[in-house]
Structure 1
Amino acid sequence: MAGKILANLIVMGTGILGRAFFQAYRQALANASKTGAAQEAMQNAVRKGAKAINEAEARQILGVTEKTSWEEILQKYDKLFENNAKAGSFYLQSKVHRAKECLEVVYRGKTNGTPN
């Protein structure tokens, strides 16, 4: 009998506590929406995630200079990309790819078309 009462108290207490947390969470979301804190946090997350590299960093990653031709850049890219694929470094592979994308935009701007 005492065990049944104790079990009922635990179940009821858990339900009450759960509803209280849910209401507090809902209220916190409403407050964040009113102040714009949620939107600001989302914008900061997007900015950090979409952090682009600049041309100098891209050239440094690929080991090329401003005078390097697009064909040489592609050769360096292919070599570095494949080496990092074999070594299993997705992070470095990603950096190499982003560097090529950055330089592709630069070369496309210079030639007003495709970099090839």
Structure 2
Amino acid sequence: MAHRIITQIVVVGSRVLGRAFAEAYKQAQASSNYARAQAKLNPNGVSARASLSSGMTLDEACKILNVKPPQGGQANMEEVMSRFKKLFDANDPQKGGSFYLQSKILRARERIEAEVRPAMEKAAQEAEIKEGWKPKVYKDR
């Protein structure tokens, strides 16, 4: 009698696990298809990748920090950083603030930086090409 109960438990348990794995696979496949569709809609891919990785849109990030959206990959990073520091410090949990709001502020800054970073890197490369490569030479004393 005990072997019959144990066998039923094993069979039912394996069915439950099998269904759970099948459902998880379906969800992962749907998520992958959605990401692929978003990448096709946005050919440069920066916004789609950054939005999917941080879970925040650029518009939402700009509203959180109360800054203007980057125009053509250019943003006033000094303004973004000053707003970030002010809001981050104001929401410090040790001063009675909210950890949730603090993390949203951090993610907003990271999202804006992810949008602006490729343009900044390209501008730095162009400036280096224009000036020429100047290695830093250290003289021995």
TM-score by length of 1: 0.62
How many pairs were matched up?
98
Verify: 1:94 aligned to 2:98, yes or no: no
Aligned to 2:24: 38
Query: What is the CA deviation profile of residues 39-74 of structure 1, one whole-angstrom value per residue up to 9, with x for unaligned ones?
Result: 1245679x9x95621111111000111376101111
Verify: 1:58 aligned to 2:67, yes or no: no
- Gaps in structure 2 of 5+ consecutive residues: 36-51, 124-141
The percentage of counterpart residues that share the same residue type is 32
Which residue identity lines up with residue 76 of structure 2 in the other structure?
Answer: S
Verify: 1:110 aligned to 2:113, yes or no: no
Shift of 1:37: 1.8
Shift of 1:102: 0.6
- The counterpart of 2:17, out of the listed 22, 25, 29, is 29
Shift in alpha-carbon separation, 1:107–1:51, aligned structure 2, 3 A? closer
Shift of 1:30: 2.6
Aligned to 1:75: 82
Shift in alpha-carbon separation, 1:71–1:113, aligned structure 2, 3 A? farther
Shift of 1:94: 1.1
TM-score by length of 2: 0.53
Aligned Cα RMSD in Å? 3.5
Structure possessing the higher radius of gyration over alpha carbons: 1
Decide which structure has greater helix share.
1
- Gaps in structure 1 of 5+ consecutive residues: 1-11
Q: Distance in 2 between matches of 1:106 and 1:59?
A: 11
Which residue identity lines up with residue 23 of structure 1 in the other structure?
Answer: V
